[in-house]
A and B are shown apart, each in its own frame.
Chain A
Amino acid sequence: MAAVDAAVLHARAVGSVPVPRAAERRVGVLFVATGIAVFAVMGLFGLVMRLTQATVLHVSPAWFYRLMTVHGAGMLTGALLAMMGALWFVLRETVPLHLRRALACYVFILVGAVCVIVSVLVGGFAAGWTFLTPLPFHPAGQWSTWATAVFLAGLLLVGVGFFVFCADVLASTTTTYGGLARTLGIPYLRGRDDSPPPPQAIAAAVVSIDGLLASAVGATIILALLGRTYDTGVKLDPLWAKNLTYFFGHETANLIMYLAAGVVYVLVPRYAGRPWKTTKPVVAAWLATLVLLVSAYSHHLYMDFVQPQWAEIVSTISSSLATLPVAVVTIYTGTMLVWGSRYRWTLASTFLYLGFAGWAIGGTGAVLDSVIPLNFRFHNTDWVVAHFHTYLLLTVIFWAFAFLAHVLEREAGRTAPHAATAAAAGAMVLGGYGLTGTWFVAGALGIPRRYAVQPPGTTGYSLAGSIFAMIFALGFLVLLVQFVSLARSAFGEARYVTVPLKDSWTGGRYLARRRRESEAEAPLPRLEGPYRLPLASPAQLAAALAATVVSLAAFFPQVVDASETSTRYTHLDNAGIFFFGAVLGLLLGSLPAVSRGLGDHSSLGLAAVVAAPPLMMLTMVPSIYAHFEPHPAVYAYYLAHNALLGLLTGLGATRLGLVTGRIAIVLSIGMALMFAGTAGG
């Protein structure tokens, strides 16, 4: 591979870049190619919308909003899938991630995407990908309840896929690098460790913690809405719902960027010939990101004046401070690596480099929008569309292209022609920035977003945007041709090798193609022992026992009777019962004797953690438990079923290791509480 790498990578990097195993190559290419295919289709839908706004096409508002809904959901899903695959590829060089779990993620997300497409294109669902409560239940005659249910189920499956991915990444990474603190580089930051993990591992740990949180919050609001589809008695608090929805949406969209950052930490050095090392600023930046990512979401609620003002102020501070890790560490270091490096400009490295610019420019637009007095005048104008398209289209999608080009160029043993690279990149930069530029101008002029019919006198911006989008599409077509050509070369390289031979009869020398013999792969690194138990010390076990005893109060007849005064209290009591079961499960599963009996079934544990809390919430709707309440024995069974689901969650969490297990149990209990807060009545 070193000889092949010499043709595509920096001379200083050749020999030190690991050869990807077949599993990494296949998962990486499968995820990223699928993501790019989704991007292509959704991009076409986007062009149709822009041409409609320009009055060149005459798509009805009903269809415009369907396309808008599927475009938003599809683009985020495609970009998420692509970056998950790319990070899996680079992380698995040192961390033994589970292949089957990666494939399970892919299936969950693909089935979820199909559900979204069916609900929108067949069922007519058009409430936007943000499904802001209670719009899904006010369809204005445009869609049926089943379409809402299928759309929500689709998003839930996408969230499950992401949850499984994050759980596997976190469990494997923290086990490989010796616990959460060490994986995050905290001892190194404090001067107590001189061998921190590589930056992509730190990025992966941060992203997976926040990803688990985002998935849990997203699942909670989606399950509450799903409950509303079959029980109209479920009352959803719009402010609670908005908080949960935007937490989920903001986190997920942002995490795509940070997943991508982990990938470029590995790929850029291969073209710059300089290492991207873990330094104290890198560790500090990612620790800050861990917090800033979750505290910034409330900027989506700036114009909800009933939102507590402290939350808005925390959000504006967090949103602005989030600039520092990106601008001072990731983007800055990227340019330092490139400066004076004799950077190897290939198809892959060109798009890698261009992606940094998209993040810097789009991020600037986003930070301006996060300042409250400016947001007052930018909120839901085209300015918002402008900045998120800049960093999603011109950074994340560029990095998806870069990743696929990186794998294909290495496999093919050649780079794409420079003219083709220049044509593709040039057209996409011109088209991309032209497209987002028209939105920036339109946003500054106050033109609202998500309008099927543009206000009078403003269609010119849409027309200009459409022309730029078509220029981008031309560049994309050039890129696709290069991908196909590289894939064909890679296919040949993978199977055949050219060898010089000498004809025994004439003595002439010639080149012959021989079938390549399969090369031995580098062994997958082994985890050092099984996952650690979430509760290890006697004090921790005693604390769990105490929590279990205290939570027994949720079963007391007086508490159960008192909780029946309102739906919210009933749900809170059920959350308490679930808490009892979950903590009991955690306690039992952490006992060494029980743990040995349960065995090392981390996949089963993950399945329990993923399935049990949603099952509890899906049955926690008045139309189900109201039938049981008049019958004490039956109702007791219902309560016991909630405790049992908690028990399964707790036992499952003990199979996921110390870090992931603890986070999973906290999130599952948090989901039950958030559900009670949202679905009151």
Chain B
Amino acid sequence: MPNRLSGSFPVSLHFATVQIAAGAAFAVLAVAFAAVFVLVALKSRADIPYEQVQTVGYWLRKRWLAVLTVVIVCGVGMSLFDLPYSGGAATGMTVVKVTGGQFFWSLVPDRVTAGTRVRFDVTSVDVNHGFGIYDPRGRFIGSVQAMPGYHNKLDLTLDDAGRYVIRCMEFCGLDHASMESFFTVTPR
């Protein structure tokens, strides 16, 4: 099976992306948790009365619960103001009809001008596909599912001129990895 993938792909870190910020936050948390587990393991050989451990442990647990609750409430609360779901009419938008099929993408039109607000109207003619879009620098900027019988609408403002790569983000069969297309954003 020849490799038909031809789009450029990130081999260097793009610190500006949300993913990298989330990845960095995750790495910090993972190292912190690992450090706690190492500390507990080192302390495991000590002989401390359990009543003493419970006194401090339960005091600390209440704070741990409070911190986690605050982080979750704030994090999830703020995320609800940044949902990717489109709403309302496509007034002022360029509607791009996207159709996925084994193993192709059809985008009509397949080019817009930079800064255009685009509504991708995504569906499929056969199985579930995932419409994943990568900007000209190879950054994954979002995805939406292409489902037969349904139209998922994704609104994006494409500011960077260049060639955007479309990849399938839902396993769809034999040539899933080769299901690639392009979308062009021309300079203003």
Contact = CB atoms under 8 A, between A and B. Distances in A.
Given A364-B26, A450-B171, 11 more contacts: A132-B170, A140-B173, A303-B143, A304-B147, A336-B53, A340-B46, A343-B45, A368-B25, A377-B142, A444-B20, A445-B13
Contacts of A336: 53-54, 57
B79 A446 contact: no
B68 A328 contact: yes
Interface string A353-372: 10011001100110010011
Given A306-B150, A306-B151, A379 B169 contact: yes
10 contacts: A65-B176, A142-B174, A238-B147, A303-B169, A313-B80, A332-B57, A341-B44, A360-B37, A368-B22, A373-B83
B40 A339 contact: yes
Contacts of A365: 26, 30
Given A357-B37, A453-B3, A458-B11, A446 B140 contact: yes
Contacts of A61: 1, 174-175, 177
Contacts of A339: 40, 43-44, 48, 53, 57
Contact of A357 (B34, B69, B171): B34
Contact of A353 (B41, B65, B144): B41
Interface stretch (A319-327, A401-409, A547-555, A583-591): A319-327
Main secondary structure of the interface of B (DSSP, over half): mixed
Given A328-B61, A446-B139, A237 B149 contact: yes
B145 A364 contact: no
B84 interface: yes
A492 to B, nearest CB: 31
B76 A317 contact: yes
B11 A457 contact: yes
Contacts of B169: 303, 379-381, 448
Interface residues of A, number: 86
Interface stretch (B92-100, B107-115, B124-132): B124-132
Contact of B9 (A62, A371, A455): A455
B72 interface: yes
A341 B50 contact: yes
Interface in B1-54: 1, 3, 5-11, 13-14, 17-20, 22-23, 25-27, 29-30, 33-34, 36-37, 40-41, 43-48, 50, 52-54
A134 interface: yes
A191 interface: no
A456 B5 contact: yes
> What's the interface size class on B, roughly?
35 or more
A451 interface: yes
Contacts of A98: none
Contacts of B14: 445
A373 to B, nearest CB: 4
Contacts of B44: 338-343, 345, 353
B76 A316 contact: yes
B102 interface: yes
Contact of B168 (A321, A445, A448): A448
A376 B142 contact: yes
